[in-house]
């Protein structure tokens, strides 16, 4: 069983990691494991180093949901990953909106988009596809919640082809 490890650090609401898990399941058919860390990750160590030892058998990707105000090493984007990369960073404070549904929907779409990038998908031109280009948080509000048929088929194929 391939699992995504959703680690929520310094983020108050449990609804945030749960929105991530639901997006991961709905879009990629992958289960999740959740850890809640009350404190912010220590900025001086760097996020990558801090999360590096968070492992378990069957781990496929890590989704790290953090409040990044204290983290200086990243440019002001709402999230970050690269194709083939194990870690996906989501900066909750940059997706934040006082309307909770809007905030949760951004997390849902943002996680789908970045997990898509990390398994090798590219931004999609499809109107409703969640892989539509998303440079700023507001871009996330304008697209659908899920992968289009074409992106989903590609994603499932790429996940299947990953060897452990």
71 counts as binding Zn ion under rule CB under 5 A: no
- Closest separation in Å from C-beta 150 to Zn ion: 5
Alpha-carbon torsion angle 109, 72, 41, 48, nearest 10: 80
131 counts as binding Zn ion under rule CB under 5 A: yes
Contact 58, 47 (CB under 8 A): no
- Closest separation in Å from C-beta 135 to Zn ion: 17
Which member of 63, 107, 151, 155 binds Zn ion (CB under 5 A)? Answer: 151
Nearer to Zn ion, 46 or 126 (CB): 126
Which member of 95, 114, 129, 137 binds Zn ion (CB under 5 A)? Answer: 129
Whose CA is closest to 7, among 82, 86, 73?
A: 86
The residues binding Zn ion (CB under 5 A) are 124, 126, 129, 131, 148, 151
């Amino acid at each position: 069983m391939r699992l995504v490890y959703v680690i929520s650090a310094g983020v108050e609401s449990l609804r945030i990691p749960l929105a991530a898990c639901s997006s991961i399941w709905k879009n990629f058919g992958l289960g999740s494991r959740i850890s809640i860390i009350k404190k912010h990750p220590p900025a001086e160590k760097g996020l990558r180093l801090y999360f590096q030892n968070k492992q378990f058998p069957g781990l496929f990707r890590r989704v790290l949901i953090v409040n990044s105000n204290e983290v200086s090493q990243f440019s002001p984007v709402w999230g970050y990953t690269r194709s083939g990369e194990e870690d996906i960073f989501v900066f909750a404070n940059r997706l934040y909106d006082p309307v909770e549904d809007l905030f949760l929907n951004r997390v849902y779409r943002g996680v789908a988009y970045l997990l898509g990038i990390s398994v090798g998908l590219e931004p999609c031109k499809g109107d409703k596809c969640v892989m539509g280009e998303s440079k700023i948080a507001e871009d996330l509000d304008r697209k659908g919640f899920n992968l289009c048929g074409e992106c989903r088929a590609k994603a499932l194929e790429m996940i299947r082809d990953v060897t452990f």
